[in-house]
Amino acid sequence: MNAQLSGMERPGRSGLAPAASAALLVILVVAMAVLPLTPLGADKFTIQLLTRIMIMAILAMSLDLAMGVCGLVSFGHAAFFGLAGYVLALVAPQGEAAGFWTSIAMAMAATAVLALVMGALVLRTTGVYFIMVTLALAQMLYFLFHDTKLAGGSDGIYIYVRPDATLFGFRPFDLDNVQHLYYVVLVALSLSYLLLRRVLSSLFGKVMSGIRINESRMQSLGYATFRYKLVCFMLSGTFAGLAGYFAAVQFGVVNPDMLGWHLSGSAMMMVILGGMGTLWGAVIGAAAMILAEMGFQALPAVTINGSEFNLGKHWQLWMGSFIVLVALYLPQGLGGALSALWRALFARKAAPRP
Amino acid sequence: MAARQGRLGSQVDIPSFFIQILNSIQYGLLLFLCASGLTLVFGIMGVINLAHGSLYMIGAYLAFSLSEHLGSLWLALPVGVVLAVVFGAVLEWLLIERLYKREHLHQVLLTYGLILVFEELRSVIWGDDVHGVSMPPLLAASIALTDTLSYPVYRLWMSGVCLVLALLMAWVLLRTRLGMIIRAGSVNSEMVQSLGINIGVIHRIVFAAGVGLAAFAGMLAAPVSSVFPGMGNQVLIICFVVVVIGGIGSLKGALVGAILIGVVDTFGKVLTLEIAGVKILPELAGMSIYLLMAVILIWRPEGIFGKVRS
Amino acid sequence: MSDIVLRTDTLTRCFGGLTAVRDVSLACRFGEIHAVIGPNGAGKSTLVNLLSGDLPPSAGRIFFGERDITGLASHQVARMGVGRSYQKTNIFLPLSTFENCRLAAQTRLGHSMRFFRHALSFAEINAAADEAMVAAGLVGRADVIAATLSHGEQRQLEIAMALATRPRLLLLDEPLAGMGGDESARIVELLGGLARDHAILLIEHDMDAVFAVADVLTVMVNGAVLESGSPESIRSSHAVQEAYLGSDGVHG
Ligand SMILES: Nc1ncnc2c1ncn2[C@@H]1O[C@H](COP(=O)(O)OP(=O)(O)OP(=O)(O)O)[C@@H](O)[C@H]1O
Ligand SMILES: [Mg+2]
C-alpha cells in the first residue's frame, strides 16, 4: 500500500504544474542553446562537462522509463550503455571515421536486440530476483569484454577518429568540434525527452504505469503484461544505448568499465536523486550526481594528527556516504522534495474538478 | 576464485577428475558459506544486502592483518569472526534496521552506497595492493594422489570446516528454540512479537551472523585466493547467481546452487579446454555459470527451491 | 443450451493438504445471476480465482462457451470477456477514479502498443470509463485519487472497473461488502439491470440482496457444493438450513 502510494500522481487532467514545468523546460533548453555563445560557453571545459551531464541524463532518463515508470528495477543498464559504445568502436574502420548515421543506428539496434534477449530472460522474474538477475547478466557482459580479446580486453579500444556525419555529401556538423558535439547531444536529449514524454501519455505509457502500480490487476483486466514490460525494457535499453554511443564519441575510448555495475549504480542513483517517473527528474539527478562527484573529487588534502589524508582522492567514500544518506532521508529524491514543496505552495490554487 | 588455481593437463584421467571434483565441492561449499548469509538475511528480514560481498572482502583483509599481528591464522580466525559479528550488529543497528519496511530499491541503493564506502575504507586502511596470507604450517602440506598429482590439505580442511558450519546452521535453524523463533519470525513477525519475543534482537542476531559467515568465508579463502581490491564484488555477483539458482530465502537452495556453480565453473574450464583442443577463448568458460542461471530462469524462474508466487 | 456462458466440470483446487474447492460443477447462463453463498472459508473466492485464471485449478475443467479455458492465464481469460471484481479491494491507488476506469476500458482496443497518440484522446474509451463510473454511482468523483476515496467508494470503483472492460461474464466477489445502505441498494438495482445482457456470478453474504436478485443459487460448504437450485428451493432446503442458513452464518 505504501509502495503504491509513493508514486502518487497529481489529480486532474489539467493543472497549473504541467504548464509551469513546460515553461521552465523551454527556458532551460533555450538557456542551454545560447550558452556556447556567451563568455561562459567559450570555456571548453564547461561545454564538455555539460555534454557529459547531458549524456548521462539520457542514460538516467532511459533507466527512469524502466524503473520509475514501469517499476522494472534494472541494475544492469550499463550493459546497454557499454554495448553501444563498443559497437561504435568495433564498426569504425582502423584509423578512419565511422559513418555517424549508420553507426548510431547500428549501436541502437544492437542494444535493442540485447535488451530484447536480456528482457525475455530477466522479465521472467520480479522483485529482488529481477534486480539480481539484471546485475548478474550485465556483469556477464562485462566479463565477456574484460576477459576475452574480442574487443581489446581490459584496456578497451580507442576511437581515434570521431564519426563523420556526412549525409548525401553534406556535413551538418563536425563531432570533433566540442561545441558541435554539445549541440548534437542537446538535441538528442531534448528529442529523447519529448519522445519519451509523448510515450508516457500514450496508451502504452498508461499501461506501463499500471504495471508499476499493480501488475496483477493489469493482468486481470486483460493486459498481457509481459509483452508490455518487454517493449518497455527494449525501449529503455535502446535509449541507454544512445547515451552510450555519445559517451564513446565524447571520450574517444571504450572500455569494460562502461559496462560495469558502478555505472548501473550511478544511473540508478541519478534517477532516485532526481525523483522517479518524471523523466525530467532523471535529468536533474544526472546533473546533481556528476556535480557531486566533481565536488567530492575536488576536496583538498587535510592533515590529521600529522599525517596527510587526501579527501579528494578518496571521493568514493563521500559518494558512498552521500548515497546512503539519500537512501535514508531523501527516498523520493530532489524531484520529490521539490514537488512536495510545490504542492505545499500551490496546491490550494489548483482546485479539483467539481 | 579459489578453484581457478587448480591446474590440469589437457586430458582428464581419473585422479585429475577426482581433483576437479574436490575443487568443485570446495569452491561450492565456500560459496555456500557466503551465499547463506545473503539468503538468510533476505529470507528472514526481506532485505537485499549488496554489501554482502564487501563483508567477504573485509573478512579476507582481516585475516591478512590479524594473522600478521597475531602470528597465525588460527588466532586470526576466531578474533576476526568476533570482530565481524560485532561489526555486523553495529551495522544493523545503525543502518540496516531502517530498511526492513522499505522498498527493495532503497535497500539496493543504501547497500550499494555501503559498497563504495567499504571499498574506499579498504583502500584507506590497507591500500590497493594484492596481499598473500600464509597458511598455518599444519595445513600447508599436500596429499599425494599419484606420482605427479597431489591435493593440498588446506583445501580439504576448508571443505570440512564449511561442511561443519552448514550442518551447524541447519541444526540451529531446525532444532533449536532460537531457530524456531527465527523461522516463525520470517513468516509472521507480529505473532512472534506477541509471544513477548523482541523481534529486533532476532533480526540483529541474524544479520550479525550473516556478516560473520561472509567474513569467515573471506578469511578461509584468503590463503588460497590471496587478498585483493574488488574481491568482494566478484563474490557478490556469484552469490547472486547461486541464490537465483537455488531460490532466495532457502538455505537448501543456497547449498544446491553453490555446489552446482562450483561444479559448472570448475568443469566448465576443463571442458572448454577439452572440446576446443587449443585455447580458443578459454576465458569464455567464465560465462558457464551465467548460462546455467539462464537455463534455470527459463525452467524455474523462482529458483530450484524458491517458493512459487501465487 | 447455447445460453451457457461459463461451465465448470468437477473443478478442484488444493492448497497443500487443504482442498479449498472440491468437485464444483456449475453453469452461468446469459441473462442470469448465479449467486454462490456459503460460510467464511467455504472456497467461494478461490472458485472465482479459478474461473478468472488468477489461480490454476488442481483438477477439473472450465469452459467458456464451447472453449476449454482451463489453465489459461488471467489476462487471456479477461480478453475472452470475463470481468471480475475482488473481495479485497484491488485497484490502482495512486491513480484517479477516472484513470482506474479508463485503464480498464482501454482493454477494449485489443492491444495498447500505441505509442504516440494521447491516451485521453480516445473518445470512446473515455466515454466507456465515464459510463462505468455513472453506473457504479461514482458521479463527480472522477478526479479523486483512488487512495483517498472512502471504503465504500473504493468498492464501487471495483465494480466500475469490472464493467468498464465490457465483459460478457461478470464475476463479482462480495461487491456489497463494506458498502453503505444507499450504495448497496443502488448496486443491487444495477445488478438487476446488468443481468439482462450479461451472465453474472455473484458471491455475496448479504442474504436479502442475494434473494432479491439471484436466479440460481449455489451453496458451498467446505469447498464443495452442498446444494444448487432456484432461490425458493434453496430457502426451503433442509440441508442448507441446517448447514448454513439456520446457524448464525448469515452476515450483514
Ligand atoms: N492462497 C492460499 N493459500 C492457502 N490457502 C488458501 C489460499 N487461499 C485461500 N486459502 C484457503 O482456502 C479456504 C477457502 O478460502 P476462500 O477465500 O476461497 O473462502 P471464502 O469462501 O471466499 O471465504 P470468505 O467468505 O471469508 O471470503 C480457506 O480455508 C483459506 O484459508
Ligand atoms: Mg471470499
Q: How confident is the model at residue C245 (pLDDT cuts 50, 70, 90)?
A: low
Q: How confident is the model at residue B1 (pLDDT cuts 50, 70, 90)?
A: very low
Model pLDDT for residues A270-292, shown as the tens digit of each residue: 999 998 998 988 999 999 999 99
d(CA C242, CA C39): 12
Query: C20 C-alpha vs ligand 1 centroid, how far in Å?
Result: 6
**DSSP string computed for B144-175:** ESSSS-EEEHHHHHHHHHHHHHHHHHHHHHHH
Model pLDDT for residues A125-159, shown as the tens digit of each residue: 988 889 999 999 999 899 888 887 777 888 889 88
Q: What are the structural domain ranges in chain A?
A: 17-346
Query: C39 C-alpha vs ligand 2 centroid, how far in Å?
Result: 9
Q: Whose CA is nearest to atom 7 of ligand 1?
A: C15
Say which residues have a Cβ less than 8 Å from residue C112's Cβ, sequence separation at least 6: A203, A204, A206, A207, A223, A228, C106
Percent of chain A with pLDDT over 90: 58
Neighbours of A, requiring at least 3 CB pairs below 8 Å, are B, C
Record: fold of B6-299: ABC transporter involved in vitamin B12 uptake, BtuC (1.10.3470)
Beta bridge partners of C200: C33, C170
Residue B72 sits at φ, ψ, to 5 deg, of -160, 150
**DSSP string computed for A183-222:** HHHHHHHHHHHHHHHHHHTBHHHHHHHHHHHHHHHHHHHT
pLDDT computed for residue B275 by the predictor: 54
Contacts of A225 in chain C (CB under 8 A): 75
Name the least confident of A348-352, B110-114, C136-140.
Answer: A348-352
Model pLDDT for residues C75-128, shown as the tens digit of each residue: 999 999 999 999 999 999 999 999 999 999 999 998 999 999 999 999 999 999
Q: How confident is the model at residue C242 (pLDDT cuts 50, 70, 90)?
A: confident
Q: Closest Cα of chain A to C240: distance in Å?
A: 33
Q: What are the structural domain ranges in chain B?
A: 6-299
d(CA C131, CA B81): 66
d(CA C238, CA C215): 20
Ligand 1 and C40: CB distance under 6 A: yes
Instruction: Answer whether B11's CB lies under 8 Å from B273's CB.
Output: no
Q: How many CB atoms lie within 10 A of CB A5?
A: 13
Ligand positioned closest to the Cα atom of C36:
1
Percent of chain B with pLDDT over 90: 50
Model pLDDT for residues A164-207, shown as the tens digit of each residue: 888 888 888 888 889 899 999 999 999 999 999 999 999 999 99
Is a pLDDT exceeding 50 seen at residue A12? Answer: no
Query: B227 C-alpha vs ligand 2 centroid, how far in Å?
Result: 58
Q: Is the ipTM of this complex over 0.95?
A: no
Q: How confident is the model at residue C22 (pLDDT cuts 50, 70, 90)?
A: very high
Candidates A5, A204, A222; nearest CB to C147: A5
Model pLDDT for residues A80-127, shown as the tens digit of each residue: 999 999 999 998 888 788 889 999 999 999 999 999 999 999 999 988
pLDDT computed for residue B272 by the predictor: 59
Which CATH number is correct for A17-346, 1.20.1070, 3.30.2010, 2.60.40, 1.10.3470? Answer: 1.10.3470
Q: Which domains does chain C have, with CATH numbers?
A: 4-92+168-243 (3.40.50.300)
A125 with B284: Cβ contact below 8 A: no
Q: How confident is the model at residue B281 (pLDDT cuts 50, 70, 90)?
A: low
* Predicted TM-score (pTM) of this structure: 0.90
Is a pLDDT exceeding 80 seen at residue A3? Answer: no
Q: How many CB atoms lie within 10 A of CB C71?
A: 11
Candidates A73, A133, A317; nearest CB to B297: A133
Model pLDDT for residues B122-170, shown as the tens digit of each residue: 999 999 999 988 888 888 888 887 777 788 888 999 999 999 999 999 9
Candidates A2, A121, A265; nearest CB to B112: A265
Beta bridge partners of C216: C34
- Section B100-106 average pLDDT: 89
C171: closest CA among C202, C195, C194, C197? C202
Query: C77 C-alpha vs ligand 1 centroid, how far in Å?
Result: 21
B236: closest CA among B5, B1, B24? B1
pLDDT computed for residue C244 by the predictor: 66
- Section C222-227 average pLDDT: 92
Ligand 1 and C45: CB distance under 6 A: yes
Instruction: Say if B244 is an interface residue toward chain A (CB within 8 Å).
Output: yes
- Section B281-296 average pLDDT: 79
Q: How confident is the model at residue B308 (pLDDT cuts 50, 70, 90)?
A: low
Model pLDDT for residues B186-195, shown as the tens digit of each residue: 788 788 888 8
pLDDT computed for residue C246 by the predictor: 54
Q: How confident is the model at residue B288 (pLDDT cuts 50, 70, 90)?
A: confident
Identify the contact set of chain A against chain C, taking CB-CB distances under 8 A: 1, 4-5, 7-9, 11-13, 198-199, 201-207, 209-210, 213-214, 216-225, 227-228, 231, 352-354
Neighbours of B, requiring at least 3 CB pairs below 8 Å, are A
